[in-house]
């Protein structure tokens, strides 16, 4: 296993370079474009929050949306004493 490993990346495709140039250098001068992007972002956030009401969507999103994880991380107030277990179990 003494073969040389070629770790040199090839040049990016011209299409990718053009997209990057457009994204990084294009000046947006239209207020309508900003308004449209703003409404698109709000719509996307609204749809995502609405999707959390459906079990199939929550299952797809995984543990990031689980209510169980959120309640497990609840912190105790400072200088409070943790609850002691009751004799005889729960």
Q: Is residue 65's pLDDT more than 80?
A: no
In this prediction the pTM is 0.46
Asked whether residue 60 is domain-assigned, the answer is: yes
Is residue 16 included in any domain, yes or no?
no
Residue 50 lies in a domain: yes
Number of domains in the chain: 1
Q: Using CA atoms, how far apart are residues 84 and 2, in angstroms rounded to an integer?
A: 61
Instruction: Establish if 49 belongs to a structural domain.
Output: yes
Q: What share of the chain is helix, strand, coil (3-state, %, to 5)?
A: 55, 0, 45
Mean pLDDT, residues 59-85 taken together? 63
- The more confident residue out of 50 and 4 is 50
| Residue range 1-45, pLDDT digits in tens | 567 888 888 999 999 999 999 999 999 999 999 999 999 999 999
Q: Does some domain include residue 63?
A: yes
Kindly state whether residue 37 falls inside one of the protein's structural domains.
Answer: yes
Residue 58: the pLDDT is 79
For 60, the domain range is 30-72
d(CA 71, CA 29): 46
Whether residue 85 is predicted with pLDDT greater than 80 in this model: the reply is no
């Amino acid at each position: 296993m003494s073969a040389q490993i070629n770790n040199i990346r090839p040049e990016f495709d011209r299409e990718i370079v053009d997209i990057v140039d457009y994204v990084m250098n294009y000046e947006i001068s239209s207020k309508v474009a900003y308004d449209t992007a703003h409404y698109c972002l709000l719509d996307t956030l609204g749809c995502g929050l609405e999707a959390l009401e459906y079990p199939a969507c929550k299952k797809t999103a995984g543990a990031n949306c689980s209510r169980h994880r959120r309640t497990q991380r609840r912190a105790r107030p400072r200088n409070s004493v943790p609850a002691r277990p009751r004799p005889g179990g729960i």
